[in-house]
A and B are shown apart, each in its own frame.
Chain A
Amino acid sequence: MGKILAVGAKEMRQILRDRRTLLILLFIPAFFLLLYGYALSFDIRNVRLAVQDRDRSTQSRELVSAFVNSGYFALVGYEDSDAALARLVDEGQVRAILSIPSHFERDLQLKRPVTVQVVIDGDNANTAATVTGYARTLIAEYGAVQMVAMLADPHLRQGYGGQALSGPVVIVEPRIWYNPQLRSALFLVPGLIAYISMITAVVSTALSVVREKERGTMEQVRMAPVGPVAYILGKTLPYLAISFTSAVLIVFAAMVLFDMPMRGSWPLLLFSLGLFLVGAQAQGLLISTIADTQQVAFQIALLSSMLPTMILSGFIFPISSMPTMVQGITHIVPARYFLVALRAIVLKGADITAFWQDLVALAIFATVAIGLASLRLRKEWA
């Protein structure tokens, strides 16, 4: 116990001496969150829109204002000529065209089917798909409003070929829980927290051990009657404290900057975070037993923490839409489980019954990683 303290005090002094590294460990993660948080967004707003209104009626103007009021589209202007519209798209002045045919209002009143054309610049397929979705929804909503108005108006009802319209009409009324505005930030920020904490914990732990190997101080410590367990505990505990502080700072930053809610319990969040970080540190430790130089350790640590957490954890790409084999691989990525727990706590305010399996998985990952690291370390140590 005294020896753990001796090693821990030494490590802490070394960290405190190296102010620059300490600042990097504590604040760069929050800065990263800022950077990634604003740059990474799937939301598309203010799509520049040109309108070709051949009807110029009250109804057509209503449809255009439905587009503009949605917030997704910004009206650039009206244009009648097809050639001029094509040029606007080519020059990148507009990304979408709404084309309303003549007799739009009349056909609506006669209850004939009407076709509205929406042209979208497809040079960015993702954006185009999203914008198509917005347009489709807006037009469908507009159609539904027309239909409801018609059903409510007895005069109009009677007017339809003399036959009364009746019977059930199914109207979809979507309610999106936890993130009603569908802000992608709410989906991404928990992922970012996992991503950044993972990298920080793995890299800092791996480097701190390999540094001692490289400088030869490890050899000296091994000559002293300090077991590998006391040495490793003493070395990793200060970094656990720092990674923990850093992760909590990121959570606060996310709450302040991205309005991330915190609906669940703090103790549960901190517990899950601790479990996740211990596993990450064990991974860093394992790397330190393989690498002999700080450079190699840094590269392995960065790759092994960054790529799986980014790609295979469900941070950006949903796991359920991955090929079966890749889905299998995601089971050894700890961030996958942490993300489920984190999103559940932060966004849904869920309690432990909703995600205890994920916490168990995190515990298993940490145990296996610690086991492997100590096996390797014992071999190296004596």
Chain B
Amino acid sequence: MREDLAIDVRGLTRRFGDFVAVNDLSFSVKPGELFGFLGANGAGKSTTIRMLCGLLRPTAGAAFVGGIDVGSDPEGVKQRIGYMSQRFSLYEPLTVDQNVQFFGGVYGLSGERFAARRKFVLEMAGLAGREKTLTRDLPGGWRQRLALGCAILHEPSIVFLDEPTGGVDPLSRRRFWDLIGDLSSKGVTVLVTTHYLDEAEHCHRLAIIHAGKLAALGTANELKQVFASRPIVEVQAAQPVLAMAALDRLDAVEKTSLFGTAVHAVMRDTSISFAMLAASLATSGVEVRGIAPVSPSLEDVFLDVVERVGAA
């Protein structure tokens, strides 16, 4: 294990009977890094996080979190990390303050340190003055910030966030990512999973996992390089489905996918001009409203990676 890494995962594997949930996964996260973990449902994201948090024992391989082997000292790991899950893991019948007191208690905070942390968390969550509100009466965004606050009450150097922004309005999501950014800039390592690929752009580095395996790893820009020699063309058409079928018939087109009402075509051949493309679509009876090159989004990358790994 390397001392300078916050998280060091080597050949991590977890089986449930015959099913391999996580398959020989290796990656590392530097201190203070904001690391995104992307994958479809059931890809093995949560299983990986549970192993990294010392909740689930690896079947094979090793993982070091904050320099501690999760396989041999899961309790030591728990003291150093914060965890917040996709479900709101707060006690809803209790007040804001009672939740903070409970988590302070289980993390062994007391006295002045607890008072200072409590103040910090309430301010961070924007809940100062609402300590006596029942948690179940809080709007989703507030509850989420409180959950994050409870997870970092003990000032962990590494924080795991498992789909933290599920089911919350865009404004609250935005505020939440600002908080995550603050944490990271203060040197806290953050590993976050998300379904929202626009959010993933905030991450310093990303790992895409598919069927328990690491499918891609790098910064958002690095990942987008897979499209360097395969430009993406966005076609606006009156009949998107018909346009997709027509594009798929062209040799120059590698594949197509639907983005809203537009069609994204990944080109195999860079020489074909937009005019030629429009002309051949028109002969197929498609009414073309616009053709333009687009820079690849993370969604393009994700779909491409998952498709190629799935086909392999």
| A225→B98 contact, CB < 8 A | no
A5 and B105 alpha carbons, distance in the complex (Å): 8
A17 and B102 alpha carbons, distance in the complex (Å): 15
Q: Which of A187-231 contact B (CB under 8 A)?
A: 215-217, 219-227
Main SS at interface, chain A: helix
| B105→A216 contact, CB < 8 A | no
| B55→A14 contact, CB < 8 A | no
Of A3, A13, A382, the contact of B106 (CB 8 Å cutoff): A3
1/0 per residue, CB under 8 A from B, across A1-40: the answer is 0110111011001100110000000000000000000000
Of B57, B83, B88, B93, the contact of A223 (CB 8 Å cutoff): B83
Interface residue B75 (Cβ < 8 Å from any Cβ of A): yes
Residues of chain A with a CB closer than 8 A to B55's CB: 219, 222-223, 382
Interface residue B113 (Cβ < 8 Å from any Cβ of A): no
How many residues does chain B have at the interface if contact means C-beta atoms less than 8 Å apart? 31
Known: A222-B55, A223-B83, A226-B106. A217 touches B74 (CB 8 A): no
Interface residue B54 (Cβ < 8 Å from any Cβ of A): yes
What is the CB-to-nearest-CB distance from A106 to chain B, in angstroms, rounded to a whole number? 83
Interface residue B182 (Cβ < 8 Å from any Cβ of A): no
Of A5, A7, A14, A223, the contact of B78 (CB 8 Å cutoff): A223
Residues of chain A with a CB closer than 8 A to B175's CB: none
1/0 per residue, CB under 8 A from A, across B90-116: the answer is 111110001001111111101000000
What is the CB-to-nearest-CB distance from B91 to chain A, in angstroms, rounded to a whole number? 6
| B74→A382 contact, CB < 8 A | yes
| B105→A10 contact, CB < 8 A | yes
| A220→B102 contact, CB < 8 A | no
Interface residue B53 (Cβ < 8 Å from any Cβ of A): yes
Residues of chain A with a CB closer than 8 A to B98's CB: 10, 13
Interface residue B221 (Cβ < 8 Å from any Cβ of A): no
Of A217, A224, A227, the contact of B91 (CB 8 Å cutoff): A217
How many residues does chain A have at the interface if contact means C-beta atoms less than 8 Å apart? 24
What is the CB-to-nearest-CB distance from A42 to chain B, in angstroms, rounded to a whole number? 45
Known: A10-B98, A382-B54. A217 touches B105 (CB 8 A): no
Known: A3-B106, A10-B98, A18-B93. A225 touches B79 (CB 8 A): yes
Residues of chain B with a CB closer than 8 A to A219's CB: 55, 85, 87, 89
| B94→A10 contact, CB < 8 A | yes
| B105→A3 contact, CB < 8 A | yes
Considering the complex, give the chain A residue whose CB is closest to the CB of B93: A17
| B85→A220 contact, CB < 8 A | yes
Considering the complex, give the chain A residue whose CB is closest to the CB of B53: A223
What is the CB-to-nearest-CB distance from A144 to chain B, in angstroms, rounded to a whole number? 69
Q: Contacts A13-B98, A216-B85, A225-B108 given; 17 further ones with Cβ under 8 A?
A: A2-B110, A6-B106, A9-B105, A10-B101, A10-B105, A14-B94, A18-B93, A215-B87, A216-B88, A217-B90, A219-B55, A219-B87, A222-B55, A223-B81, A223-B83, A226-B106, A382-B57
- Chain A residues within CB distance 8 Å of chain B: 2-3, 5-7, 9-10, 13-14, 17-18, 215-217, 219-227, 382
13 A-B pairs with C-beta separation under 8 A? A2-B110, A6-B105, A6-B106, A7-B102, A7-B106, A9-B101, A10-B91, A17-B93, A217-B91, A219-B85, A220-B89, A223-B55, A227-B75
